[in-house]
Amino acid sequence: MSEENAILAYYQGIQEGSIVVGKWIRMLYDIIIDGLEKKRWYFDQRKANNCVRFMEKYCHHNKGQLAPQRIKLSLWERATVSLMFGIVDEDGIRQFTETVLVVGRKQGKTLIAGGIGNYFAYAVGEYGSEIYYLAPKLDQADLCYGAFEYNVNQEPDLKKRTKSTKSRGLFIRESNTNIKKLPFTDRKSDGYNPMFYVADEIASWPGDRGLKQWEVMVSGTGARREPMGLAISSAGYENDGIFDELFKRGTAFLNGNSRESHILPILYTIDNPEKWDDINELRKSLPGLGESVPVKFILGEIDKAHESLSKRTEFLTKYCNIKQNSSQAWLSTETIRRSFNIGDDRRAGEGGAWSEQMRAEGKITEEGNRLSLEDFRDCYALAGIDLSQTTDLTACTLIVQREGVVYYFARFFLPREKIEEATARDGLPYRKYIERGFLIESGDNFVDYNDCFRWFTDLIEKYQIYVLQVGLDRYCAQYLQAQMESYGFHCDTVFQGTNLTGVINTTEGMLKDGALQSAEDNDLMKIHLLDSALKIEAETNRKKLIKISKNAHVDGVAALLDAMCMRANKWEELQNQLRNEAS
């Protein structure tokens, strides 16, 4: 094999159009190349090529017509291995410790997982390495483990160094290395110290048990210098499990709104489910099409899928990697920057008298908006409320249009006695948000909804901002709604489900265009936007807002969607007032 940089070769093919990939893979290689150019990480040619050489020298096909020939890695596979082993930090340590490889059926996932395990066991693992092949059941864990064991049995040099035992699996005495297949276990993490572990077909891992099993392995790697976890899968049917968790984390990294830097999401999926039977679209989820699997075979599977709804669903899931209810990060960092008018204020006011005045006063700048409620005096507006739990964050939002741009304000409420607890739990400076006026201390141990009510009445009584409609989540306290309506506010209930698909799409489009902007530099709202994810139904493309992780908060975004729902429902009726155009 020549001394190639497979990452660069693959990236160049993507840029030239000779290699067809989906959006997630394109984003990944853009991030990797940008990180290399900016020295966020570095490329170690030797580390990358050593793994490729080892796999092509010692690893074999263990099924089908090519067995028992040695494998020959294709460019996408060499690039994948190079990402895992060749991208290093400034100290030469591998950058990525968790790799998520999502790719369609018959693309060689099992061979890759087996071969990388061999490489750790016989070439780069530490003394006393532990290598695990994990799955919910032992026979499923045996698939990748079997590929590992087959390579050992085919290579005399590896076989003579390896002992097979019933209790310990495979054992390499010279390095005190154990290799085991492992079904789910309830043991705590102190029972494992993995150097390398493979989670096979994570899309079939059930809910909390799958999440806990992965976390057990991750937490057990703390004493290792360069450990690695590899999750491999096509899409599947389990919801809210480890597949959804890793997919959300991975897409957050790709969108640029994650604080993580050690997860490597290699997500081969088609972009357009309506083109599920288009061979060119399928190259995005089947990078080995024409190599590891013949085009003729896939065309036959397409024909079957056209004849049966169940077959079509299976094809979409397993070959296209379109999960029937997928979860992914919502907004990119660039979109959120634009929504805060950072670096691009081309839509802010579009040159009207009001926006020109705001620019002259330094309230609309390329560094962001610094507007206040006073700047919207005598305007008509809409609002949204998301109460969440009485012991946690509650959010209220206001949207008001000036000169073609919709500006939003967000206020958050948190019980006084819960602030320190929330600061420790979320790692956020809630006291600073209080000082800046974005967060309001409300009640002692429970949010006092009278504070929310007073914020809305102040809009009218202090600023003459007239809220024409308020969207409230369906769990809103009845007495707050009654209090609001008694004062004169018109309130509508909003159900935060897939019924908001149109509102979500409109909101996203306006954020991307800079037509929906934060009026203030509200860091807490920015975090809620970063923590937002979507659950998407494959067949209908219907969406609903969810959290990027179980400890994240999206209350501010939910309240914003409530207000945007009011805009969608009432625009025809109220647009003459909501435009806030001078007469």
Q: In the CATH scheme, what architecture does the domain 6-329 have?
A: 3-Layer(aba) Sandwich (3.40)
What per-residue confidence (pLDDT) applies to 127?
A: 95
What per-residue confidence (pLDDT) applies to 189?
A: 47
Span 453-470, average pLDDT: 96
Instruction: Tell me how far apart the alpha carbons of residues 326 and 511 are, in angstroms, rounded to a whole number.
Output: 22
Give the pLDDT band (50/70/90) at residue 539. Answer: confident
**How high is the mean pLDDT of the chain?**
91
Span 483-512, average pLDDT: 93
Q: Where are the beta strands (DSSP E) in 235-334?
A: 263-267, 325-329
The residue extents of the domains of the chain are 6-329, 333-578
pLDDT at 347 over 60: no
pLDDT at 346 over 60: no
What per-residue confidence (pLDDT) applies to 135?
A: 92
What per-residue confidence (pLDDT) applies to 479?
A: 80
Order of strands, edge to edge, in the sheet holding 325-329? 325-329, 532-537, 543-547
Q: Percent of the chain, pLDDT > 90? A: 73
**Side chain identity at residue 155, one-letter code:** E
Q: Where are the beta strands (DSSP E) in 119-227?
A: 130-135, 162-165, 169-172, 177-183, 196-200
- Render pLDDT for 348-405 as a digit per residue (tens, 0 to 9): 445 689 989 999 999 998 888 899 999 999 999 999 999 865 557 899 999 999 999 9
DSSP β-ladder status, 491-494 and 466-473: parallel
DSSP conformational letter for 163: E
What per-residue confidence (pLDDT) applies to 71?
A: 95
- Render pLDDT for 92-115 as a digit per residue (tens, 0 to 9): 999 999 999 999 999 999 999 999
- Render pLDDT for 3-52 as a digit per residue (tens, 0 to 9): 789 999 999 999 999 999 999 999 999 999 999 999 999 999 999 999 99
Same fold yes or no, 6-329 and 333-578: no
What per-residue confidence (pLDDT) applies to 549?
A: 83
Span 412-431, average pLDDT: 92
* CATH code matching the domain that covers 333-578, chosen among 3.30.110.70, 3.30.360.10, 3.30.420.240, 3.40.718.10: 3.30.420.240
Residue pointed to by tokens 């990236």 = 11
Report the candidate in 460, 456, 474 with the shortest Cα–Cα distance to residue 387: 474
What per-residue confidence (pLDDT) applies to 187?
A: 55
> By the 8 A CB rule, do 512 and 423 touch?
no
Which of 32-41, 166-175, 309-318 is modeled with the greatest confidence? Answer: 32-41
For 3-39, give one letter per residue: b (16+ CB within 10 A) or e: ebbbbbebbebbeeeebbbbebbbbbbebbbebeeee
Number of neighbouring beta carbons within 10 Å of residue 498: 18
Please indicate, yes or no, whether the overall pTM of this predicted structure exceeds 0.85: no
Contacts of 576 (CB under 8 A, 6+ apart): none
pLDDT at 223 over 50: yes
- Render pLDDT for 269-304 as a digit per residue (tens, 0 to 9): 999 988 999 999 999 999 999 999 999 999 999 999
What per-residue confidence (pLDDT) applies to 185?
A: 65
